[in-house]
């Protein structure tokens, strides 16, 4: 079976493999005999099941319409005058009839070597109909391992934009493409997944994004890179039983429609009851509840703690081990350290132990980011009110006789170039000597008490700090004299009215009630952005209520949620703003002195936590 020069030229390069596995039926033999073959489809390295199976009869390949529809992205539907069918693929349309060896294609009549047939309620199409009518070149051949199979010529494509629209009788989502290409799709519980092969020899984009939609049934769409290098588009469906997927041209695009006649089912029960709290928990203390939900991979336990912004007795704070950065403690230890009644693990940390982002506790700046990205922060005021945003550190030091210098970082090691760092006792008792730096030791009274330019070790004062300059800032610090005043001005950009407690997490999950995930902007690794596992998050409702949330699969084994699934759990809980926290083995839920989620026997030490504590003067 030879492909035409016209179609080979239009398709470009890149093969999609559909690998055949012989069933081992008695009498199965070489091409030419009547042989039934069970297929699995492999789009490059992505496996797709073909069920019911494709068939080889008298040496000819026949594909089931169900696979043509969902494995290749072709729209196929019977016309009222059955047994006539219509197939559409971008700007090509084919009409055929079961049992007839002639079809009508975009260029006129098509004469087929064999007619489509019906078997076990499935219509089977000869591969020639796809090639001659739709330009989809499918051939019997071998895969790279020498297994018998068929191959499909596929150029691959990219998604250039995503658009939404509302029509009188349907909701619509449009994926604009760079060009035409076969694609696969599947409907799972609560979502529609579409996989598009990349263009040949293209460098795949690892951008991960999620955006909310202003529709009732199509509520969000995410784009990411699958492990096989395919563009993976996932559309979240709010109980939409009817979904139509088809293609259009000029420009090439995939369209997802939900007819508005489709009903919306009522949500199920919340799940299991609240877990028992420790007997020592004070009366009226905020308590975790547990909801039982399910996703495509099985059951989920959703732990939820709600804290009113005006609660007269309790508030949320950030906790971390006492002493220098780099120490990690169990969540139960951190809750006990600050006299808390409940806690959730906090932000991300490095292999050496310190947090990787901004942390401030009770007005004290602990550290600034160890990365250049601007990530999402949770800000808690002295009164306990919470807000969320992407604020940058914008500190400076004011010298009485020399103006001011901008600070690069707090309690972070020098890297290169021109830097001015601030070190406190959170770094340690001393700062190692190095002749390339100029160090100023500033007392609690904001007076420079020592200038070190010879590279000797300096002690960090208990209540003061050390300024360390590199490059041009080393030269500028040399102009400051012992006895000069130095005053810190530590703030954020944009400015916060009050910096009391700050904790960096990310990526952002909700902005003003809409899904919002741009992990590439916040520079998160793929395991955070695209992984599936236990998750922790913090949310804020429209009324200001704080939500602490943890999600995991009960029992042993693989499970958990993707970020887009976490988003919709938070929406169901009423969150209006939300951000992700460290997850996986760090996800830990504590009530009183007890870990109540499944990591109880192997709780990971962590450097930061969110803890519910008694409000000062709250009685």
CB 151, CB 141: distance < 8 Å: yes
More confident residue, 3 or 451: 451
Domain boundary among 153, 173, 191: 153
So what's the pLDDT on residue 370? 83
More confident residue, 149 or 251: 251
Q: Are residues 474 and 590 in the same domain?
A: no
CATH code where residue 128 lies: 3.30.457.10
Domain boundary among 490, 510, 528: 490
Residue 571: partners with Cβ closer than 8 Å, 6 or more residues away = 510, 513, 515
So what's the pLDDT on residue 140? 67
Q: What is the C-alpha to C-alpha distance for residues 414 and 405, in angstroms, rounded to an integer? A: 17
Q: What is the pLDDT of residues 551-576, one digit of tens each?
A: 998 865 557 898 989 999 999 999 99
So what's the pLDDT on residue 143? 54
- Biggest distance spanned by C-alpha atoms of the chain: 99
Q: Are residues 145 and 19 in the same domain?
A: yes
Q: What is the pLDDT of residues 101-115, one digit of tens each?
A: 999 998 899 999 999
So what's the pLDDT on residue 259? 83
Q: Give the range of the structural domain holding residue 214, as residue numbers without chain letter.
A: 159-259
Q: Are residues 76 and 58 in the same domain?
A: yes
Percentage of the chain exceeding pLDDT 90: 55
Mean pLDDT of all residues belonging to the chain: 84
So what's the pLDDT on residue 489? 95
More confident residue, 397 or 602: 397
So what's the pLDDT on residue 488? 96
Confidence tier at 371 by pLDDT (50, 70, 90): confident
φ, ψ for residue 554, nearest 5 deg: -70, 150
Q: What is the C-alpha to C-alpha distance for residues 350 and 372, in angstroms, rounded to an integer? A: 15
Confidence tier at 146 by pLDDT (50, 70, 90): low
**Do the domain assignments include residue 274?**
no
Does residue 14 register a pLDDT over 60? no
Q: What is the pLDDT of residues 159-215, one digit of tens each?
A: 998 998 767 678 899 999 999 999 999 888 788 999 999 987 777 677 778 888 888
More confident residue, 78 or 125: 125
Residue 123: partners with Cβ closer than 8 Å, 6 or more residues away = 64, 65, 85, 98, 116, 117
CB 344, CB 610: distance < 8 Å: yes
Does residue 607 register a pLDDT over 50? yes
**Do the domain assignments include residue 65?**
yes
> Of the ranges 19-28, 195-204, 330-339, 398-407, which one carries the lowest mean pLDDT score?
19-28
Gap between the terminal Cα atoms of the chain = 85
Query: DSSP states of 80-122 as a string?
Result: SSTTEEEEEETTEEEEEETT-SEEEETTEEEE-SS--EEETTE
So what's the pLDDT on residue 203? 73
So what's the pLDDT on residue 31? 36
Please give the helix or strand (H or E) that residue 477 lies within, else none: helix 472-477
Q: Are residues 486 and 507 in the same domain?
A: no
Q: Are residues 58 and 126 in the same domain?
A: yes
Confidence tier at 406 by pLDDT (50, 70, 90): very high
Percentage of the chain exceeding pLDDT 70: 84
Instruction: Compute the average pLDDT of residues 260-285.
Output: 53
Please state whether 372 falls in left (phi above 0), alpha (psi between -120 and 50) or beta. alpha
**Do the domain assignments include residue 90?**
yes
More confident residue, 375 or 209: 375
Other residues' Cβ atoms within 10 Å of the Cβ of residue 267: 9
**Do the domain assignments include residue 583?**
yes
Confidence tier at 298 by pLDDT (50, 70, 90): confident
Does residue 38 register a pLDDT over 70? no
CATH code where residue 163 lies: 2.60.40.3470
With the C-alpha atoms ordered 592, 330, 548, 550, is the resulting torsion angle positive or negative? negative
Q: What is the pLDDT of residues 531-548, one digit of tens each?
A: 888 999 999 999 999 999
The domain tally of the chain equals: 4
Q: Are residues 11 and 114 in the same domain?
A: yes
Instruction: Compute the average pLDDT of residues 354-374.
Output: 92
Name residue, tokens 């099985």: 298
Joined together, the tokens standing for residue 101 give 């060896």
Beta strands in 484-532 (DSSP E): 486-489, 492-493, 501-504, 508-511, 514-518
Q: What is the pLDDT of residues 57-80, one digit of tens each?
A: 888 889 999 889 998 999 998 876
Q: Are residues 144 and 31 in the same domain?
A: yes
Distances (CA, A) of 346 to 135, 386, 504, 581, 605: 53, 15, 8, 6, 11
φ, ψ for residue 585, nearest 5 deg: -70, -15
Q: Are residues 169 and 129 in the same domain?
A: no
Residue 373: partners with Cβ closer than 8 Å, 6 or more residues away = 521, 522, 523
Instruction: Compute the average pLDDT of residues 361-389.
Output: 93
Burial 292-316 (b: 16+ CB within 10 A, else e): ebebebeebbbbbbbbbbebeebbb
Q: Are residues 101 and 193 in the same domain?
A: no
Q: Are residues 111 and 206 in the same domain?
A: no
Q: Are residues 100 and 212 in the same domain?
A: no
Does residue 253 register a pLDDT over 50? yes
More confident residue, 144 or 119: 119
CB 583, CB 533: distance < 8 Å: yes
Alpha helices in 478-605 (DSSP H): 526-529, 563-572
So what's the pLDDT on residue 188? 82
Does residue 345 register a pLDDT over 90? yes
CATH code where residue 452 lies: 2.60.120.1140
Q: What is the C-alpha to C-alpha distance for residues 195 and 575, in angstroms, rounded to an integer? A: 30
Residue 323: partners with Cβ closer than 8 Å, 6 or more residues away = none
Domain boundary among 99, 125, 153: 153
More confident residue, 521 or 430: 430
So what's the pLDDT on residue 263? 32
**Do the domain assignments include residue 141?**
yes
Q: Are residues 135 and 235 in the same domain?
A: no
**Do the domain assignments include residue 276?**
no
**Do the domain assignments include residue 373?**
yes
**Do the domain assignments include residue 168?**
yes
């Amino acid at each position: 079976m030879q492909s035409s020069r016209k179609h080979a030229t239009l398709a470009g390069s890149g093969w999609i493999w559909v690998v055949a596995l012989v069933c081992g039926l008695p009498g199965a033999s070489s091409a030419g005999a009547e042989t039934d073959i069970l297929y699995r489809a492999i789009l490059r390295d992505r496996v797709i099941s073909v069920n019911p199976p494709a068939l080889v009869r008298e040496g000819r390949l026949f594909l089931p319409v169900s696979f043509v529809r969902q494995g290749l992205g072709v729209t196929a539907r019977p016309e009222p005058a059955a047994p006539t069918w219509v197939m559409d693929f971008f700007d090509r349309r084919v009409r055929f009839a079961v049992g007839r060896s002639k079809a009508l294609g975009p260029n006129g009549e098509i004469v087929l070597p064999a007619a489509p047939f019906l078997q076990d309620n499935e219509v089977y199409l000869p591969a020639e109909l796809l090639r001659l009518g739709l330009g989809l070149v499918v051939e019997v051949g071998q895969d790279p391992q020498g297994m018998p199979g068929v191959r499909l010529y596929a150029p691959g494509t990219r998604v250039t934009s995503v658009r939404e629209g509302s029509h009188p009788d349907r909701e619509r989502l449009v994926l604009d493409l760079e060009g035409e290409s076969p694609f696969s799709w599947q409907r799972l519980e609560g979502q529609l997944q579409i996989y598009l092969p990349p263009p040949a020899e293209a460098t795949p984009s690892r951008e991960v994004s999620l955006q909310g939609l202003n529709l009732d049934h199509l509520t969000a769409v995410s784009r990411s890179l699958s492990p096989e290098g395919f563009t993976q588009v996932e559309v979240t469906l709010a109980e939409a039983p009817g979904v139509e997927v088809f293609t259009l041209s000029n420009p090439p695009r995939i369209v997802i429609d939900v007819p508005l006649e489709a009903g919306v089912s009522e949500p199920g029960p919340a799940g299991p009851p609240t877990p028992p709290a420790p007997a020592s928990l004070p009366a009226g203390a905020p308590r975790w509840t547990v909801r039982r939900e399910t996703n495509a991979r099985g059951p989920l336990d959703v732990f939820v703690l709600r804290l009113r912004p005006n609660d007269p007795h309790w508030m949320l704070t950030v906790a971390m081990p006492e002493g220098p950065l780099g120490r990690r403690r169990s969540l139960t230890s951190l809750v006990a350290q600050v006299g808390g009644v409940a806690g959730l693990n906090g932000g991300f940390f490095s292999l050496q132990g310190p947090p990787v982002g901004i942390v401030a506790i009770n007005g004290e700046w602990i550290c600034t980011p160890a990365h250049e990205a601007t990530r999402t922060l949770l800000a808690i005021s002295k009164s306990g009110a919470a807000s969320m945003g992407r604020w940058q550190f914008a500190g400076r030091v004011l010298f009485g006789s020399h103006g001011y210098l901008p600070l690069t970082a707090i309690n972070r090691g020098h890297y290169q170039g021109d830097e001015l760092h601030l070190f406190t006792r959170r770094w340690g008792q001393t700062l190692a000597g190095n002749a390339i730096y100029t160090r100023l030791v500033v007392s609690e009274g904001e007076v420079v008490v020592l200038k070190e330019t010879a590279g000797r070790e300096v002690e960090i004062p208990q209540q003061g700090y050390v300024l360390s300059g590199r490059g041009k800032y080393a030269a500028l610090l040399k102009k400051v004299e012992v006895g000069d005043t130095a005053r810190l001005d530590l703030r954020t950009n944009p400015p916060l009215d009050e910096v009391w407690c700050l904790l960096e997490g990310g990526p952002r999950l909700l902005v003003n009630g809409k899904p919002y995930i741009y992990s590439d902007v916040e520079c998160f690794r793929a395991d955070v952005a695209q992984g599936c596992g236990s998750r922790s998050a913090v949310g804020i409702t429209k009324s200001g209520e704080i939500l602490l949330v943890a999600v995991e699969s009960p029992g042993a084994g693989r499970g958990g949620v993707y970020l887009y699934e976490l988003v919709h759990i938070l929406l169901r809980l009423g969150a209006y703003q939300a951000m992700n926290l460290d997850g996986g083995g760090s996800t830990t839920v504590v009530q009183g002195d007890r870990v109540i989620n499944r990591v109880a026997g192997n709780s990971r030490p962590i450097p930061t936590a969110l803890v519910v504590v008694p409000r000062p003067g709250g009685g």
